[in-house]
Amino acid sequence: MKKIGLFFGSFNPIHNGHMVLANYMLEFTDAEEIWFVISPQNPLKEKSSLLSENHRYQLVLEAIELEPRFKASNIEFKLSQPSYTINTLVHLQEKYPAYQFSLIIGEDNLIFFSKWKNYERILELCNLLVYPRPNCEKTEFHSHPKVSILNAPQVEISADFIRKAIKEGKNVQYFVPERVWKYMMEWGFYK
């Protein structure tokens, strides 16, 4: 059974912090592939601040081009919105019954995990691969048998920081993969 790490996000834009984390998941967990699942609309974020779905999908494709074990998934574009992880997970398991999925999430998400739609069912269906975030309080999920708290490096780059810096006219080209930077500059994103 092929093991897939699902890395959900708006990727607005994808940046080197995402890439470092995905690389860590490939090399230090049992995940054989990492799928970047681009969310058209996170229920906890405003849609107006997002680039179009297709541009964010293309940015992910640009970022992962050289690593065949990374895949870009636009599966949530075809599902009802707002996007709920449980709906996507059930859909993927129906479509790929021979794959075993794990969710890649930040430790800060554990604080609110009980508020996720059908979180108990998520834990029945898959494991959580949790990367550390600074100053996170411990929750009941930290000791859950389906939750692995990993010792991944913490990279403090955020998409919000990148968008704000570009708007201010700063050069942040080394914060994102080279092809992502070229694509963003070609289209004039975040200015």
Mean per-residue pLDDT, 2-28: 97
Instruction: Write out the E strands in 10-69.
Output: 33-38
* pLDDT above 60 (res 72): yes
What six digits make up the tokens of 189? 């994103």
Mean per-residue pLDDT, 44-72: 88
pLDDT at 135: 87
Q: DSSP for 117-183? A: TTHHHHHHH-EEEEE--TTPPP-GGGG-TTEEE--PPP----HHHHHHHHHTT---GGGS-HHHHHH
Domain assignment present for residue 162? The answer is no
Domain assignment present for residue 71? The answer is yes
Alpha helix ranges (H) inside 29-158: 53-64, 85-95, 119-125
pTM of the model: 0.93
Report which residue type is found at 149. Answer: I
Tell how many helices (H) and how many strands (E) occur in the chain.
Answer: 6, 6
Kindly indicate the confidence band of residue 48, based on its pLDDT and cuts at 50, 70 and 90. low
Least confident of 20-24, 61-65, 72-76, 81-85: 81-85
Domain assignment present for residue 118? The answer is yes
Phi, psi of 83 (to 5 degrees): -80, 130
* pLDDT above 70 (res 44): no
Calpha distance 103→127 (Å, rounded): 6
Mean per-residue pLDDT, 76-105: 94
pLDDT at 91: 95
pLDDT digits (tens, 9 = 90+) for 120-160: 999 999 999 999 998 889 999 999 999 999 999 998 899 99
Domain assignment present for residue 27? The answer is yes
pLDDT at 40: 86
User: What is the rounded average pLDDT for all residues in the chain?
Assistant: 93
pLDDT at 178: 97
pLDDT at 85: 94
pLDDT at 47: 54
Kindly indicate the confidence band of residue 50, based on its pLDDT and cuts at 50, 70 and 90. confident
* pLDDT above 70 (res 12): yes
Domain assignment present for residue 22? The answer is yes
Mean per-residue pLDDT, 96-102: 97
Range of the domain at 17: 2-154
Domain assignment present for residue 178? The answer is no
pLDDT at 128: 98
DSSP reduced 3-state for 25: helix
Contact indicator for 18, 104 with CB cutoff of 8 Å = no
Domain assignment present for residue 180? The answer is no
Least confident of 10-24, 37-51, 85-99, 101-115: 37-51
Domain assignment present for residue 106? The answer is yes
Number of domains in the chain: 1
Q: Answer whether the bond into residue 153 is a cis peptide, omega within 30°.
A: no
Q: Kindly report the CATH number assigned to the domain that includes residue 59.
A: 3.40.50.620
